[in-house]
Amino acid sequence: MNNDRQGILYLCATPIGNLNDISQRVLETLNEVDIIAAEDTRNSIKLLNRFGIKTPMTSYHEYNRYDKAADLIDKLREGKDIALITDAGTPGISDPGEVLVRMCYDVGIRVTSLPGACALITALTMSGLKTRRFCFEAFLPADKKERREILSELQNDTRTIIIYEAPHHLKKTLKELREALGNRNIALCRELTKQFEEVRRMRLDEAVAFYEENEPRGEYVLVIEGRNRQDIREEEKREWLDMPIEEHMKVYEDEGLDRKECMKRVAKDRGMSKREVYNLLVSLGNTEN
C-alpha cells in the first residue's frame, strides 16, 4: 500500500452502533494495511468478520498504550502500514490513540485520519442545543479534586458542554452537574445509531428525578446548555453594585488608570452613565479631578 521507506498510520473511524455507517474508504484501508491495531480484538473481530476482512490484528489499549506504541512504531519504520481502530467511533478521541499519534509525529511517521462516526458530534447535532461553540470533556475525571476543578471551570462556560458517561455513574454525575451548573437544559443521548436510539431533552432537575425512578441503560452522551452570557453580565453587575463606588474606583486606580478612565469603566460595570458616576462621587465628597 505504501512504497515509501516508512509505513503510514491510518486512524480509521468505525461505527458507533449501526455497522452500515462504516465508510468504503475505511473498508478498503482495513483490507490493504499490514496490521490492524484494535482497542479490543474480541469486539473488533465482529466488525471484520461482517465485512470479510482477514488482516491480522493486534491489541492496543489504555493499559499497553506506551509499550505497544513503541512496538507499532518499529513496525511502521520497517515500512508496514497500520490501521488504528477503537471499539466505536474515531480513534484518538478520549482514547489511547492520541498517545500513538503523538509518538508517530515525534519520530517523523506520517499519520492520516479517515473520518466517520463520532458519538460526540452525532449527539450534539441531534441535541437541539446550540452547536456553533461547544466543549468536549469526555468522561469526567475519577479523582475527586480534579473533578471538582473541572466542574468549577464549566460553571461560567458559555459553550455547549458534551460529556460521556457510563450507566452506573449517570445518577451521581447528573446530581453533580445540577449542583455545579444550576438547572440547565440537557439532552441525554443513548444507543446512538441503533434500533432503540433515544434522546431525552429536559432540565437537569427533571433528569435527576427521572433516573431516580428509571435505571440508566447503555452508554450516554450528555449535551448540556452553556451559561447564558446575559446572566453572567447581570451577576457581575450585582457584584459591582454591592461594592461602595469609592472602592470600585480604587480597583481601577490601583491598576494605574487615570481618573477619567476609571469613571468610564465604573460606569460600564454598574450600568450607569459617566455623568451619574461623577455626580455620585461629588455627593460623597470625592471631588478629586
Domain boundaries, the chain: 8-117, 120-227, 230-283
What number does CATH give the domain 120-227? 3.30.950.10
What are the tens digits of pLDDT across the range 15-52? 999 999 999 999 999 999 999 999 999 999 999 999 99
> Which amino acid, residue 183?
N
Exposure string of 256-278, with b = 16+ CB inside 10 Å and e = fewer, is eeeeeebbebbbebbebeeeebb
CA atoms within 13 Å, Cβ hemisphere of 62 = 4
Q: Is 244 exposed, middle or buried (0-12, 13-18, 19+ CB in 10 A)?
A: exposed
Instruction: Determine the Cα–Cα distance for residues 64 and 58; give it in Å rounded to an integer.
Output: 11
Q: Which H helix or E strand runs over 111?
A: strand 110-114
What are the tens digits of pLDDT across the range 204-263? 999 999 999 999 999 999 999 999 877 777 777 677 777 888 888 888 888 888 888 888
Instruction: Determine the Cα–Cα distance for residues 148 and 153; give it in Å rounded to an integer.
Output: 9
Percent of the chain, pLDDT > 90?
75
Nearest one of 117, 30, 100 to 61, comparing CA atoms: 100
Instruction: Determine the Cα–Cα distance for residues 27 and 111; give it in Å rounded to an integer.
Output: 18
| Residue 245, C-alpha cell as written in the block | 463606588
Specify the pLDDT at position 234: 74
Specify the pLDDT at position 288: 58
Instruction: Determine the Cα–Cα distance for residues 22 and 13; give it in Å rounded to an integer.
Output: 7
Instruction: Determine the Cα–Cα distance for residues 4 and 8; give it in Å rounded to an integer.
Output: 9
Would you tell me which CATH number, out of the four given (3.40.50.300, 3.40.190.10, 3.40.50.12280, 3.40.1010.10), belongs to the domain 8-117? 3.40.1010.10
Which DSSP letter does residue 258 get? -
Residue for grid cell 509525529: 105
What are the tens digits of pLDDT across the range 45-54? 999 999 999 9
